[in-house]
Amino acid sequence: TGALASLLQMQGHVVIAVEPCARLRSAPAVTWISDTLPRLSKTRGRYDLVFCLGVLQHLAPLDQRRSVQRLARLLAPGGRLVLALRQGPAPKERRAWPMTSLLRAKNGLVMTRFVRRGSLQPGNRTHHVQWTWVVLKRPKVTAKPPLR
């Protein structure tokens, strides 16, 4: 719904958000790009912070890995990728896949945070849905001193 995009924009950040579904692009002061994972073919640039929240479980495992690789390439040196990964049964109307091997490939990133919590939604708690929050960081490129 653009809630996070709106919040970040109100705090003074320049926000570029990707959403393929026009009816979910509700934040008016945000630059919206209609694009999809895993390719993100219309999304260009390098970013300090990239969020991918509650999306990857809807992609088949190969596309999950390709998506994280693509998101990693969008990070500027020192940039962070924040993932919210849902584990548990999917709603009947939505298809979902497990993400058991997703974090094995680091894609040149360093994991700086890993938190697993139960869902806040009562219906999800009944079904023991868990959320894993992960922050991955692209190391800053440091110039090596010249050889003497």
pLDDT tens, 83-105? 999 888 877 888 888 776 777 77
Q: What percent of the chain stands above pLDDT 90?
A: 55
Q: Exposed, middle or buried, 143 (CB in 10 Å: 0-12/13-18/19+)? A: exposed
Specify the pLDDT at position 120.
Answer: 83
Q: How far is CA 75 from CA 40, 60, 145, 147, in A?
A: 13, 23, 25, 30
Q: What predicted TM-score, i.e. pTM, was given to this entire model?
A: 0.87
Confidence of residue 44 (pLDDT cuts 50, 70, 90): very high
Tokens 């008016």 locate to: 28
Statement: residue 1 has pLDDT above 60: no
Amino acid at 36: T
Q: Give the residue-averaged pLDDT of 115-122.
A: 85
